[in-house]
Amino acid sequence: MSTIAFKLKNLREHIAEAEQNYGRAAGAVKLLAVSKGQPISNLQAAIEAGQRAFGENYVREALLKMDVLSNFNLEWHFIGAIQTNKTKPIAEHFAWAHTIDRLKVAERLNAQRPAYLPPLNVCIEVNIDNEPRKAGVKLIELTELAFTVASFPRLKLRGLMAIPKLRPTFEAQRIAFKKLRIVFEELRNQGLDLDTLSMGMSQDFIAAIAEGTTILRIGTALFGERIKK
Ligand SMILES: *Cc1c(COP(=O)(O)O)cnc(C)c1O
């Protein structure tokens, strides 16, 4: 078994165990393999071990990997910062974009999503710790943006995404995730049909499972350190 296959198996076991420990349904948490900065051979090892969903942050790097791996039926998620001049390739080549953080980006993705593809699955990124210079909408801007994005025909608003500050303890990690879960539930109570909380990374994924994540975005815990760009 390759190292990556071994780590993937371990991760799946940890996820299943945490689902059980925190009262989550079995299989409720999906693992997105974050492959930015990883060589193709690492993605191939994960594919051989059954992984199908991959997260990428840089359009050019992602398109190259999609091309090389086009024989496999993979699901590509864009999880990097979205520059307005990159919305077209994202709309054309990805199944998901997790990082909508302003109206302009949503409008362009909606206009550029090709008619032959199903609507692009999207999440709104929330700056949950209200950090200066951090991506994501502020909580006070969230409701209006969410209702607008939900009305766009070529986008399917699935939920919310956040990258909280890294906190040292499990209990502290839970607090930020809980905050995101509460605003997610508020939006659902206001009538939005959302099913996705994209939260939890290598360092804090158990806390995210405890607080209701549905998509973990995991890179280094699966693939090891990234190649520096
Ligand atoms: C890089 C990245 C990840 C993965 O981080 P790890 O700590 O390597 O698991 C998850 N989400 C986003 C948005 C990222 O940019």
User: What pLDDT, in 10s, does the model give residues 193-219?
Assistant: 999 999 999 999 999 999 999 999 999
Mean pLDDT across 21-47 = 98
Q: Which of 7, 79, 229 best tests ligand 1's pocket when mutated (most atoms within 8 Å of CB)?
A: 79
pLDDT value at residue 228: 63
Q: What is the 116 CA–ligand 1 centroid distance (Å)? A: 30
Looking up tokens 């191939």, which residue turns up?
Answer: 44
Q: What CA dihedral angle connects 21, 23, 28 and 29, to 10 degrees?
A: -40
Q: Are 129 and 176 in contact (CB under 8 A)?
A: yes
Using alpha carbons, list the distances in angstroms from residue 40 to 7, 43, 219: 17, 5, 14
Q: Which of 201, 216, 218, 228 best tests ligand 1's pocket when mutated (most atoms within 8 Å of CB)?
A: 201
Residue 190: other Cβ atoms inside 10 A: 10
pTM above 0.85, yes or no: yes
Q: What is the 159 CA–ligand 1 centroid distance (Å)? A: 18
Is residue 96 pLDDT above 60, yes or no? yes
Report whether residue 202 contacts ligand 1, using a CB cutoff of 6 Å: yes
Report whether residue 134 contacts ligand 1, using a CB cutoff of 6 Å: no
Confidence band (pLDDT; 50, 70, 90) for 2?
Answer: confident
Q: What is the 191 CA–ligand 1 centroid distance (Å)? A: 30
User: What pLDDT, in 10s, does the model give residues 13-23?
Assistant: 999 999 999 99
Report whether residue 221 contacts ligand 1, using a CB cutoff of 6 Å: yes
Report whether residue 24 contacts ligand 1, using a CB cutoff of 6 Å: no
User: What pLDDT, in 10s, does the model give residues 111-162?
Assistant: 999 999 999 999 999 999 999 999 999 999 999 999 999 999 999 999 999 9
* Average pLDDT of every residue of the chain: 97
Report whether residue 217 contacts ligand 1, using a CB cutoff of 6 Å: yes
| 29 three-class SS | coil
The whole-angstrom separation of Cα 3 and Cα 9 is: 10
